[in-house]
Structure 1
């Protein structure tokens, strides 16, 4: 696990720390090609420089967010906005994490991606990346 992410996880309360450690373990195991780091104060995994998945601590719990998750067509992920293509789910306890679902979402995140790394250059316009 990335050292910065490990330190981030260790700084959390017990239940939240357990959730963060489990998420990081599953993400690292299923996205070994991803670069991981603390980005905007939260753990994020990047594929080819494009933010793909990450988590943050919020009042409802640990928010796991997929940048392109709105197009995963998964009932378990909540799509809030219309401008961006993100979708997320909250966890308050490690027992709420269903590994099969998370692995499926991570596999979709490799194929379904919008180009967030160039969003500023494109003046806010998102373009779907072609993945095979």
Structure 2
């Protein structure tokens, strides 16, 4: 368990903390090879330095975001507009979290990745990893 991520979770309201703790446990269980840390003020998991999945507190709830989720072909994940390939879902109650969906999305996040790690070097151009 990452103590910085746990501190982030503990700093949330009781309901949001419960959501965060479930997400942390499920992500860690399904993505054991990933490095996790607080990045840009919220919990993020990385594979080989590339951001894969993370969550953050918004007014609307806890947003779970997959950096390459736009290519997952998952209707529950809402694709953001713009040049990035992220997609997210927002939770307001722990009961909304479907562990099977989460496990499937995490599995896709291992196979479908855009190279965010080198986006600055490439001046904002994203390239697909593992095509």
**TM (normalized to structure 1)?**
0.98
Q: Tell me the residue number matched to 1:26.
A: 26
Q: Which residue of 2 aligns with 1:72?
A: 72
2:86 matched to 1:86? yes
In structure 2, stretches of 5+ residues that fail to align are none
Residue 125 of structure 1 aligns to a residue whose secondary structure is coil
- Cα deviation for residue 66 of structure 1 reads 0.1
CA shift for structure 1 position 82: 3.2
Quick one: distance in 1 between partners of 2:28 and 2:118?
Answer: 24
**Separation in 2 of the partners of 1:52 and 1:81?**
18
Structure 1 Cα separation of the partners of residues 25 and 35 of structure 2 = 14
Per-residue Cα deviation, 1:67-90 (whole angstroms, up to 9, x for no partner): 000000000100021300000000
**Corresponding position: 1:126 with 2:116:** no
Q: How many residue pairs get matched?
A: 131
- Please list every run of 5 or more consecutive structure 1 residues that lacks an aligned counterpart in the other structure: none
- Alignment partner of 1:4: what SS? helix
Give, in whole Å, the separation in 1 of the partners of 2:114 and 2:39.
Answer: 18
Give the Cα–Cα distance (whole angstroms) in 2 for the partners of residues 9 and 80 of structure 1.
Answer: 24
Cα root mean square deviation, aligned = 0.7
Q: Match for residue 40 of structure 2?
A: 40
1:39-72 deviation line (CA, Å, top 9, x unaligned): 0000000001000000000011000000000000
